[in-house]
Amino acid sequence: MPSNAPLGTPTKVTQGSPTKGGIGESTLRPDGTLKVTGEFAYSSDMWHEDMLWGQILRSTVAHAEIVSIDTVEALKTPGVYAVMTYDDLPTDVKNYGLEIRDTPVLAHGKVRHHGEPVAIVAADHPETARRAAAKIKVEYRELPVITDESSATAPDAILIHEGRDDHHIGHVPHPNIVHRQPIVRGDVASARERADFIVKGEYTFGMQDQAFLGPESGLAVPAEDGGVDLYIATQWLHSDLKQIAPVLGLPEDKVRMTLSGVGGAFGGREDLSMQIHACLLALRTGKPVKIVYNRFESFFGHVHRHPAKLYYEHGATKDGKLTHLKARIVLDGGAYASASPAVVGNASSLGAGPYVVEDVDIEAIALYTNNPPCGAMRGFGAVQACFAYEAQMDKLADEVGMDRVAFRQLNAMEQGTLMPTGQVVDSPAPVAELLRRVQAMPMPPEQQWLTAGEAADVRQLPGGLSNTTHGEGVVRGVGYAVGIKNVGFSEGFDDYSTAKVRLEVVGGEPVAVVHTAMAEVGQGGVTVHAQIARTELGVTQVTIHPADTQVGSAGSTSASRQTYVTGGAVKNSCELVREKVLELGRRKFGTYHPAWATAELLLEGGKVVTDGGEVLAHLADVLEGETVEIEAEWRHRPTEAFDLHTGQGFGHVQYTFAAHRAVVEVDTELGLVKVIELACAQDVGKALNPLSVVGQIQGGTTQGLGVAVMEEIIVDPKTAKVRNPSFTDYLIPTILDTPTIPVDVLELADDHAPYGLRGIGEAPTLSSTPAVLAAIRNATGLELNRTPVRPEHLTGT
Amino acid sequence: MRVNFTVNGRPQDADDVWEGESLLYVLRERMGLPGSKNACEQGECGSCTVRLDGVPVCSCLVAAGQAEGRDVVTVEGLADFAKQRAEHGGCAAGACGTSLQDAQQWQARGTDSQTGEGTQLAPIQQAFIDAGAVQCGFCTPGLLVAADEMLERTPNPTDADIREALSGNLCRCTGYEKIMDAVRLAAARQGEAV
Amino acid sequence: MDFLRPASWEEALAAKAEHPTAVPIAGGTDVMVEINFDHRRPEYLLDLTRVADLYEWEVGEENVRLGASVPYTQIMENLRPELPGLALASHTVASPQIRNRGGVGGNLGTASPAGDAHPALLAAGAEVEAESVRGTRLIPIDAFYTGVKRNALAPDELIRAVHVKKADGPQQYSKVGTRNAMVIAVCAFGLALHPETRTVRTGIGSAAPTPVRAKTAEEFLNAALDEGGFWDNGKVITPSVAKQFADLCAAACNPIDDVRGTASYRRHAVGIMARRTLTWTWESYRGTAARSEGVA
């Protein structure tokens, strides 16, 4: 391990604040009332006098040269205000991208995937805009499509991106590989000699969609100063801003972004969608422009979860100890890089799972292909790996002849374990305990479809309302899985957040205002920020300022990081405000009571108190007319990049763990599955809002269930075209597909993190999928090496 | 074309409606009632659920012209609708609902920390807040309209009844558990109130 | 686009005669999706929701005359004794919201092989009442489906009602989808026992270019039931008969591979559903017979 691995600074843990509504309580969402009355303004709800509607024309083929684009007829359409193509882009910056700026704002000379934006239209009615877009004539000269590893890396393969000059090109074996990360530790060849059992498997993970319910949308309003105001649903305002402003040729302070209501994200709003298009049309026409994707377009408008092929070999001794792991993970990044490099980093560095295995040789790559671009989705990289290593654990346990849970517990990592990257796991890693807890939960009753009368309750059976079985062919199965996910941005990224906190007295009452650029996408960050401010400042009333770019960056609402990082920033700014308030107090009242100078002072219940509980002053009297305001950045301890050849390095700031037990009932004749129960145990460090924590775990669990049994974007391998871009054929679980999800929450503090908390959003999405697959295997005896599993896989048809 | 119908107890009209427009579009873009959500436009998600002459329907699948002369209740009118039902056993014509002017105020409001204070909510709305059934909230309006109607028909639903009644409403955030809790809570409170 | 709003059936027929390209719309389940997704821009939309006749049903001696727009919810709640197969099929349609508005007329008008009502109508025995200003005719359900999303209606005709034989025996309906609710059929199967005529009828959905009956399977089963005296003795159907029937039903399919399922799975699943629904209906028949006639 690197000798210079930084040690974290433990943060003071404030437990059990006496101020009502502080951390640890299940306070209710501040936006709850607006959301249940229909008044909460989502990005698609924005409306402006005289606004126009934007429409995007997308490529109908996956890979082609653009011979010509003819916009004449479209421009003649009454009601059309603007039609723009690549040639109309105002500056030399014509691409964008999260890390690699390889994505054209509008296609130039070539399209690289089905549904790539080619032209944009603004008109006075969405139907006018659609009709005009349909009149744009694009002539394509089709190229062969690259759809998998062998076609991407063939010696004569067409390069998806010619002339790459990004920082990965130097270390990838082929220009159609975005990034490659090996993780090598110990000596796999000699460790293999010690193995009594060797298990090999080849696994396939299908392309999942975030399927957030609120499609991409926003409103761009041109301003008198030549700038533009953008109301938008995103995961990271400042990252968007850095990509938008250069394309528009505007300084960043002239692109003012305000977060609108976000209808879910799950990674799918990390990349830009319609942001630049709306701004371009608004600036071109001088009118506000609204763009709202429909569901069809949404499937083309954001990146998906990387589909993957995973080749795994594990060894174990007779007594069940893992000897080695050799793995190769091939992720399909599609036509543009998006978050592929980070996905590669996660898949490789977390590819061994939460297990002790000393001799490791893992390689992960992401391909450039003509498939739909893939990037961030909840648990990225770690999700695909978990599916494979958990299948391997079951097979190995069976080979060794051990109970599957006991086998995992025997090999489970714990605090102090070395990761394959050489990093010490330096906070609790209760892997064995999480498994013990899900195993100890009571089992759901058998045959719940039986009723008092003659008829079976089909709602409790596989097939549900479709009335396919009354119990015939139904077999129960049980499966377990556990996973490991990193929290926050890794590999040396400067991961920080900013919080502006103001304390003032309004109408005799102290009020705190918390202003960050954190994207509230439903996770409840706004709830938690108010709780932190109450705990730290001892006030009841907290106002959460709308998120915008008038305050510093909060980083992305992703990587399970916002409660940790922006929560940490709010805590830090509150502490700084508190210091200033106490300073004011000392100046005004210090002479009246010796405790001002000697005791540890706190803010509680609107008062300055000693740590012994003695009241020194009311906040109202300390502040009088003054306002104390602090804007400050806060960062977690730094990480470092993985070595490009060995993958060694202090790459991750925190790890998080969850385990699932799945109970399923399978109609073995028809291959239909009903998940009966999906129990989860997770260590959250500290539950700042227990109700929200459980809600996150249940939601993540359900997305894992979806990709186990139904969710997959199907791409035609011959044309690279998407075959099911609709909610009719891309199915996500309904309430009748979703089981009861009992949750057991552990709170083992991570001393490096604010309040000891652990990021929670992603871990439950990891182990849910392999647990369901394990349960289906248990019911059917089938090997099932791909997910989602479909009826034809279960019936051999 | 011109379309007239009653929304949340008030007569409304819209001019220059394109014949292919849905009721959902007219509510959202022409009447300042964006509470009903557009998430799939193909009847697969239930986010746009409204009551059309009392019956829950996907407003994305109702042609605007089909709403002519009909009575529509949206999430914006749900609190008043529930109140009228509790007081009179139904919504007296023209007596309930939010004014258009009030309904359009949504734009001005930001997020603050006032939770449920001072706003009259239907029992199902309060239960969704209390049970933690709201995350991103995009599915919430449709679920509320559907759940409210289910409790009107079936005051003491079993879990299977709730799941069946809400099987046309997709939620991507919650895993539905807290939604189940919310409907159970509303049913229990409804039982206590009787 | 023009929006036509006939207030009566006569006005609707006149409008359709004047504008044969007009697309009828009632529940909107198919038509609005096509408009929302820019797949279709009809010259005229013919709104049928104001035609009250279409929302009514009459239960006669032999048949139920079911108005084309009677919502599936109403069929489930009001016509289960008379039309048990169709009521079961109605319960599998999409979501409660869709069932509240959609009706059999829409399924027939679209004539998608995946329409949920078709197998139940085929099994029960039905006739489609088509009408134009030229007159009324009854089209036997077997002759109604003429191709993928094509039917026997003339351009000026509208569907007034469907006449479905009242059940004289048990009926069942099963549909395979990859979700436990709100799902389009991968394939579906309807079965009706007709003790009065001592026949069975079947219907298969989503496993051929049109909804079809498994006629060879029906003939086989009719003969087997007859030969074994099953209608009278009420014995359990032998597994070999059930298997042969299931295999023949599977053989009646002519399915395709698509995003919803493979052709071979569809064949397989239709066979399983045929066997199960035969068991369910026959057990029900035996139970009823046992109660009413004392047959063991």
> Does residue A2 carry a pLDDT above 70?
no
Query: Nearest chain A Cα to C258, which residue?
Result: A723
Residues of chain B with C-beta less than 8 angstroms from the C-beta of C177: none
User: Is residue A622 within 8 Å of residue A588, measured between CB atoms?
Assistant: yes
Cα–Cα distance for residue pair A182/A325, rounded to 1 Å: 13
Q: For residue C34, what are its two tokens?
A: 């096509």
> Does residue A397 carry a pLDDT above 60?
yes
Contact C261 A728 (CB under 8 A): no
Q: Mean pLDDT over residues A318-341, rounded? A: 98
pLDDT value for C290: 60
Q: What is the mean pLDDT of chain B?
A: 88
pLDDT value for A4: 37
Give the pLDDT confidence of C30-45 residue by residue, as tens digits.
999 999 999 999 999 9
> Does residue A684 carry a pLDDT above 90?
yes
Window C:275-294, CB contacts with A under 8 Å: 276, 279-280
Q: Mean pLDDT over residues A423-447, rounded? A: 98
Q: Mean pLDDT over residues A105-119, rounded? A: 98
User: Is residue A700 within 8 Å of residue A763, measured between CB atoms?
Assistant: yes
Sheet holding A322-332, edge to edge: A177-185, A359-367, A322-332, A308-316, A197-205, A786-787
Per-residue pLDDT band at A400 (split at 50, 70, 90): very high
Cα–Cα distance for residue pair A62/A341, rounded to 1 Å: 23
Using a CB–CB cutoff of 8 Å, tell me whether C32 touches chain A: no
The residue ranges of every structural domain in chain B are 3-74
DSSP state of A235: S
Name the CA dihedral angle for A603, A609, A615, A616, rounded to a multiple of 10 degrees: -90
Give the pLDDT confidence of C203-231 residue by residue, as tens digits.
999 999 999 999 999 999 999 999 999 99
**CB-CB: which of C33, C49, C181 is closest to B66?**
C49
> Does residue A667 carry a pLDDT above 70?
yes
Per-residue pLDDT band at A111 (split at 50, 70, 90): very high
Cα–Cα distance for residue pair C285/A568, rounded to 1 Å: 69
> Does residue C292 carry a pLDDT above 80?
no
Architecture of domain A32-40+496-635: 2-Layer Sandwich (3.30)
pLDDT value for A677: 98
Q: How many helices (H) and strands (E) does chain A have?
A: 19, 31
pLDDT value for A248: 98
Return the CA Rg of chain B.
16
Per-residue pLDDT band at A612 (split at 50, 70, 90): confident
Residue C95: how many other CB atoms lie within 10 Å: 27
pLDDT value for B194: 61
**CB-CB: which of B42, B74, B111 is closest to A30?**
B111
> Does residue C81 carry a pLDDT above 50?
yes
Contact A736 C181 (CB under 8 A): yes
For residue A437, which phi and psi values (nearest 5 degrees)?
-70, -45
pLDDT value for A604: 93
CATH class held by domain A43-143+215-262+269-301: alpha beta
Q: What is the mean pLDDT of chain A?
A: 96
Cα–Cα distance for residue pair A306/A368, rounded to 1 Å: 11
The residue ranges of every structural domain in chain A are 32-40+496-635, 43-143+215-262+269-301, 431-487+654-795
Mutation pick from C179, C267, C284 vs chain A, by most beta carbons of A within 10 Å, is: C179
- Give the Cα-Cα-Cα angle B86, B91, B94 (nearest 5 degrees): 140
Give the pLDDT confidence of B71-123 residue by residue, as tens digits.
999 999 999 999 999 987 654 333 344 444 443 333 333 333 344 456 799 99
User: CATH classification of A431-487+654-795 is 3.30.365.10, yes or no?
Assistant: yes
Residues of chain C with C-beta less than 8 angstroms from the C-beta of A718: none
Going along chain C from its start, the domains and CATH numbers come out as 2-165 (3.30.465.10), 171-293 (3.30.390.50)
- What is the identity of the amino acid at A575? E
Query: Nearest chain A Cα to C280, which residue?
Result: A470
Give the pLDDT confidence of A505-514 residue by residue, as tens digits.
999 899 999 9
User: Is residue C84 within 8 Å of residue C118, measured between CB atoms?
Assistant: no
pLDDT value for A60: 98
> Does residue A8 carry a pLDDT above 70?
no
Question: Which of B95 and A608 is assigned the larger pLDDT?
Answer: A608
pLDDT value for B109: 34
- Identify which of A621, A744, A637 has the alpha carbon closest to the alpha carbon of residue A682: A744
> Does residue A456 carry a pLDDT above 80?
yes
Q: What is the mean pLDDT of chain C?
A: 96
Q: Please classify residue C228 by burial: count the beta carbons closer than 10 Å to its beta carbon, then call 0-12 exposed, 13-18 middle and 19+ buried.
A: middle
A53 to chain B, closest Cα gap in Å: 12
**Chain A residues near any Cβ of chain C (below 8 Å):** 130, 134, 294, 296, 459, 462-470, 472-473, 669-672, 674, 709-710, 714, 723-724, 726, 728-729, 731, 733-737, 790-792, 795, 797
Q: Mean pLDDT over residues A242-248, rounded? A: 98
> Does residue A448 carry a pLDDT above 90?
yes
> Residues for chain B: how many in total?
194
A743 to chain C, closest Cα gap in Å: 24
> Does residue A695 carry a pLDDT above 80?
yes
**Interface pTM (ipTM) of the complex?**
0.96
Mutation pick from C2, C29, C55, C97 vs chain B, by most beta carbons of B within 10 Å, is: C97
Cα–Cα distance for residue pair A694/A680, rounded to 1 Å: 10
Q: Mean pLDDT over residues A37-62, rounded? A: 97
Contact A795 C265 (CB under 8 A): yes
Intrachain domains A32-40+496-635 and A431-487+654-795 with the same fold: yes
Architecture of domain B3-74: Roll (3.10)
Give the pLDDT confidence of A627-663 residue by residue, as tens digits.
999 999 999 999 999 999 999 999 999 999 999 999 9
> Does residue A93 carry a pLDDT above 60?
yes
Query: Nearest chain C Cα to A459, which residue?
Result: C180
- Identify which of A670, A501, A496 has the alpha carbon closest to the alpha carbon of residue A566: A496
Q: Which residues pair with C176 in a beta bridge?
A: C187
Q: Please classify residue A494 by burial: count the beta carbons closer than 10 Å to its beta carbon, then call 0-12 exposed, 13-18 middle and 19+ buried.
A: exposed
